[in-house]
Amino acid sequence: MKTLGAVLAGGRSSRFGSDKAEALLEGQSLLDHAIRALEPHVDTVMVAGRAMPRQPLISDWPAPDLGPMGGIAGALRYAEGEGFDQLLCISVDCVRLPDDLRALLEPGPAYLASQPVIGLWPVSLRPEIEAQFTTSDDRSVRRFGYRIGARAIACDFAPPNVNSVADLDRLADL
């Protein structure tokens, strides 16, 4: 299966206080760390929700500032248009991933129970996620997954979750 990887980087970083994607960890941005973490698991890595040099813009759908669901919806639209079969997405602060991430999540739809933004979504779900936006104000990835019958995968991996500078400092100390 041809898999698009998407780093969801369109958030406002309101809890973080500045652009979280550009925050530095070990001298490199969280975005750069997330891209490198995702690369071994997919055929192509793209960034959703922000313009990137030498990459097409994957806009959140149907509009910016709708949280991870908007990024996933936009990335699914892009993946479908480019001939990908599935989307593996992570958040911009996910600088580490389990080595067996694809094996854990396949077959999709599935997501990590501890961090539902880390998920594998078949491109065929694009109409379902778009319907979520047109029929509900609910933007929860976990509730969307539950509604469509996605598997919530429990594993020992504890994904990083950087919502403050203090969280980033703790991550740097690990």
Q: Go through the domains of the chain in sequence order and give each one's CATH number.
A: 3-173 (3.90.550.10)
How much is the pLDDT for 25? 76
What's the mean pLDDT in 79-103? Answer: 95
Alpha-carbon torsion 139, 3, 51, 39, what sign?
positive
**Cα atoms in the 13 Å half-sphere on the side-chain side of 28:** 10
Q: Which residue has the tokens 């908007």?
A: 70
Question: Which range, of 58-62, 117-121, 137-141, 168-172, averages the lowest pLDDT?
Answer: 168-172
Q: Is the pLDDT of residue 17 over 70?
A: no
CA–CA dist 22, 34 (Å, integer): 11
3-state helix, strand, coil in the chain (%, to 5): 35, 20, 45
What does the mean pLDDT of the chain come to?
Answer: 89
Residue 145 parent element (H or E): helix 141-148
